[in-house]
Amino acid sequence: MGWANNPANPTFKPNRNPFLQTAAGIPDYSHAAKPQFWPYPEKVIGWAANPLETLEEPGKLVHGYRAAWWTTSMNRITSKPPVHQFCNGSNECDPAKIKEGASNNSPATGPCQRTDYKCWWNTKVAWKNCDNRECGFELFRFNNTFPEEADGNSHPPRCESGLPMGTPVVDNVNTGQRLAGSDFRRCTDSAQSSGSFKFDFASPSARMDTHHLGVGYGNHMWFSSTRKANSEEAKRLKTTGTWTGPSSVSGWTRVLVHMPNVAARSQQAKYSVSGTNSDSPHRVAPQRIRSNEWRSLGVFNFNGTPKVSLSNITEEDVSVDIAWDAVAFQHLGSKPTQVVGMGDSFASGEGADAKDGKDYFRETDYKEDIGKDKVVNKCYRSKYAWIRQATLPGKSKSIGESSDAYGDVALSFIACSDARTYNIWSGGKNQENSLPQMDLGYLDKNTNLVTIAVGGNDSLFSDVIKECILLAGLKLSRMPSST
């Protein structure tokens, strides 16, 4: 045993608990956040006793392997050797110096009495009597009498598009490419696509930083990490994926992108659309849907080769996953009514969540910790916002209903709770992790109707209301009680 893994090494606290356990033997997975403070052999024993949990199917976590077991709790707790077990004169280690605050700076400050730290241990030793059943017992998951279990389906793919009949879908792998996976998980043996997909990498490093998973549309998607625009990383690790649609795509067309339920977390995925007459050839869409769903980029009048491109370069301060899945082109017989809903909470529908907040679009209502950073989205766009419930003259369905059904109204809903006017105009301020609303790209010369509600936050509306309520409460508290 080398000194780096010796329990006596001052790198490890002498009074530490067994890895992944409390002093009472209760599992404590917080240790996994700082595994460097336990010797490797102790980590092996700890993981044997406390398996990782893995997602077997949506909402169901199971042990990733069978846990080892001990005859008593005390035998399990004492699986960790005493800190002085591998420290004595034979390896030039002084057990008297194993204490809190010891260091490897010199033989005078720590137990290893060699300046080269070669206090190696090479003698057989035991601290438990296995014949008395004091040691742990392993359990093999598979053996001759235990057949291999069928694969779970932790992230079921989308095999059918669910789009109007005849809508061509361009996948992220080209037709005929073999797809891996068991019969339970896969959609088909090989990819089926109505167009082509191609990656462009800034360097071999960018290629190495791109990965794939058997999830999403057709049971395959690619993902990488976002890189801050104009950074050195962005220059080296830029990855761009381009979907090219079939030649049959022409005229008024709704463009939709499929957001997979995992490895899609960017809030500033910037899709560039070419082959159209639009004067705003890009659309920025948040990907963190957490469900296999289509999201519309809007309607375009194609008069050239239809292409949609996405790179991993964004303005996000925290690097997150960004995904390339599938793109669909829904042909429309004529130009639909294009509506853009902008503004603050009055427009986003905050508070109009009919089911305790569960009717906000998921990508606009979440908070997560990424290391020391917090990533949030509090736009609170409600499915019951007034812009979605309004009905245009001559239409039988509401704006939201028609747009959701891929009908003759196309709604781009980009309002965000707490927005101020400088979160609206082009070149204004970002709002949390979202670009200014006009910079999201949904306004162009083909837009028919824009709705906006903004200004309340500029006037500090919420502060005024709070002050009024506080003053009212103060006055009520001073009123004499009735007799």
- Domain holding 328: CATH number? 2.60.120
* Residue 286: other Cβ atoms inside 10 A: 24
pLDDT tens digits for range 362-383: 999 988 887 778 888 999 999 9
**How far apart (Å, rounded) are the C-alpha atoms in residues 198 and 243?**
7
Q: Are residues 407 and 423 in the same domain?
A: yes
* Tokens at 188, concatenated: 């088909």
Where does a domain end: 89, 115, 149?
A: 149
Which residues does 270 contact at the CB level (< 8 Å), separation at least 6?
A: 282, 283, 284, 310, 311, 313, 314, 441
Query: Residue 104 carries which side chain, given as an amino acid letter?
Result: N
340 and 328 part of one domain: no
The Cα 201–Cα 105 span in angstroms is 46
Is the pLDDT score of 302 beyond 50? yes
| pLDDT of amino acid 182 | 46
Same domain, 175 and 232: yes
- Between residues 188 and 269, the one the model is more confident about: 269
Count the alpha carbons within 13 Å of 50 in the hemisphere toward its beta carbon: 19
Average pLDDT for 104-116: 94
Contact call for residues 122 and 115 (beta carbons, < 8 A): no
pLDDT of residue 417: 93
pLDDT at res. 288: 93
pTM here? 0.75
Examine the domain organization and report whether 299 and 400 are in the same domain.
Answer: no
Neighbours of 380 (CB within 10 A): 22
Among 334, 361, 385, the domain boundary falls at: 334
The pLDDT, as a whole number, for residue 375 is 86
DSSP-assigned letter for residue 57 = E
Among residues 334, 351, 380, the one where a domain terminates is: 334
Residue 359 is predicted with a pLDDT of 84
Question: Which pLDDT band, with edges at 50, 70 and 90, does 188 fall under?
Answer: confident
Using pLDDT thresholds of 50, 70 and 90, give the confidence band for residue 147. low
Question: Residues 329, 341: one domain?
Answer: no
pLDDT averaged over every residue in the chain: 90
CA distances (Å), 91 to each of 39, 84, 99, 437, in order?
18, 12, 18, 68
Residue 49, both tokens: 């006793």
pLDDT, tens digit, 9 for 90 and up, residues 199-212 = 999 999 999 999 99
- Are 6 and 131 within one domain? yes
Tell me: pLDDT of 475 over 90: no
pLDDT at site 472: 67
Q: Is the dihedral of CA 185, 190, 194, 196 positive or negative?
A: positive
Structural domain for 106, as ranges: 1-149
Rounded to an integer, what distance in angstroms lies between the CA atom of residue 197 and that of residue 174? 6
Do 54 and 67 fall within a single domain? yes
Position 73 scores a pLDDT of 87
Q: Which amino acid is at 386?
A: W
Q: Are residues 299 and 208 in the same domain?
A: yes
Would you state the pLDDT for residue 383? Answer: 93
Residues 115 and 46 in one domain: yes
> Using CA atoms, how far apart are residues 474 and 483, in angstroms rounded to an integer?
21
Burial 324-341 (b: 16+ CB within 10 A, else e): bbbbbbbbbeeebbbbbb
Is the pLDDT at 186 greater than 80? The verdict is: no
Q: Which residues pair with 272 in a beta bridge?
A: 282, 309
How far is it, in rounded angstroms, from Cα 110 to Cα 98? 7
Q: Would you place residue 135 in the very low, low, confident or very high pLDDT band (cuts 50, 70, 90)?
A: very high
Residue 56 has pLDDT above 60, yes or no: yes
Q: Residue 17 and residue 22: Cα distance in Å, rounded?
A: 6
| pLDDT at residue 482 tops 70 | no
Q: Extract the tokens encoding 146.
A: 């235990």
| The pLDDT of residue 391 is above 80 | yes
Question: If you average pLDDT over residues 299-309, what whole number do you get?
Answer: 96
Residue 464 has pLDDT above 80, yes or no: no
Dump pLDDT digits (tens) for 310-353.
999 999 999 999 999 999 999 998 999 999 999 999 999 998 86
Q: How far is the C-alpha of 396 from the C-alpha of 68, rounded, in Å? A: 64
> Exposed (0-12), middle (13-18) or buried (19+): which is 395, by Cβ within 10 Å?
middle
- Residue 414, amino acid: I
**Residue with the two structure tokens 């995904």:** 323
Instruction: Provide the domain count of the chain.
Output: 3
Residue 343 has which token pair?
A: 């503004």
Banded model confidence at residue 483, pLDDT cuts 50, 70, 90: very low
* pLDDT at 387 exceeding the cut of 80: yes
pLDDT score of 471 more than 80: no
Q: What single-letter amino acid sits at 9?
A: N
Q: Which residues contact 291 (CB under 8 A, 6 or more apart)?
A: 259, 261, 362
Question: What whole-number percentage of the chain has pLDDT above 70?
Answer: 92
Same structural domain for residues 54 and 160?
no
Q: How far apart are CA 271 and CA 177, in angstroms?
A: 25
Is 83 in the same domain as 138? yes
pLDDT of 151 > 70? The answer is no
pLDDT for 235 equals 95
Instruction: Tell which residue, 203, 195, 190, 188, has the closest CA to residue 234.
Output: 203
Same domain, 76 and 163: no
* 183 φ/ψ angles, rounded to the nearest 5 degrees: -60, -30
Give the integer Cα–Cα distance in Å for 18 and 46.
7
Determine the pLDDT at residue 415.
96
Percent of the chain past pLDDT 90, that is, above it, reads 72
Q: Can you tell me the distance from the alpha carbon of 93 to that of 283, in angstroms, rounded to the nearest whole number?
A: 65
